[in-house]
Amino acid sequence: EAQVTQNPRYLITVTGKKLTVTCSQNMNHEYMSWYRQDPGLGLRQIYYSMNVEVTDKGDVPEGYKVSRKEKRNFPLILESPSPNQTSLYFCAPGTEYEQYFGPGTRLTVT
Amino acid sequence: DQQVKQNSPSLSVQEGRISILNCDYTNSMFDYFLWYKKYPAEGPTFLISISSIKDKNEDGRFTVFLNKSAKHLSLHIVPSQPGDSAVYFCAANAGGTSYGKLTFGQGTILTVHP
């Protein structure tokens, strides 16, 4: 069964405390992406990766880092989270055109 | 600068009738368009797509129309069912050097009443 796994699903943290949201896929897609969803703003792309060791910025990359050391995993790193990074985050592996979203991670930064 | 816009935040339709969701874009480099559906507490799911070389694509009850000259696309759902109630996002891709970069609209909440 095709699966996209994100961990954690819910996280409440404090400003400045580094955190990592993991994403794993079993669909063997070369392409993976991270989005955040905010009310009234829809889905905005943070970073994407076209293959192992190849990443590029999306529309809102500030305050985030990513790495792609293996095909199945694409972690999102917040080195020093701030309250404006409170959001719903989605990982999305897929092709260059069609992407398949994970279940989401609800992050709250206080 | 919102390059993909869904100007209707919500739409209410009676079961069995047609639902029409609209999307406008400004970037003439976009050449592939997608619609996603999202239920609460779930990730968006891919619904239907269309390439800029076509003006219509159909999949069961769902049809997407593309008007390139107007930079407008629409999603038609016929007949609408209560299970179609969800948030619908349109998205666009420019291909080429923007390979992999999807730009989404703000979403439209569709409510289908029994």
Q: What is the pLDDT of residues B52-84, one digit of tens each?
A: 999 999 999 999 999 999 999 999 999 999 999
Structural tokens at position A6: 């994100």
Distance from CA of B82 to the nearest CA of A (A): 22
B63, B50 Cβ separation under 8 angstroms: no
The minimal CB distance from A43 to the residues B32, B95, B104 is found for B104
C-alpha B70, offset from chain centre: 16
Distance from CA of B106 to the nearest CA of A (A): 4
Q: What is the pLDDT of residues B12-41, one digit of tens each?
A: 999 999 999 999 999 999 999 999 999 988
Give me the residue label for tokens 């404006």: A84
Q: Does B106 touch chain A (CB under 8 A)?
A: yes
Residue B68: which residues within 8 A CB-CB, separation 6 or more? B52, B55
Least confident of A1-5, A27-31, B1-5, B97-101: B97-101
pLDDT at B99 over 90: no
Q: What's residue A1's pLDDT?
A: 78
pLDDT at A40 over 70: yes
Q: For A11-20, what is the mean pLDDT? A: 97
Best of A23, A47, A54, A99 to substitute, by most chain B Cβ atoms within 10 angstroms, is A99
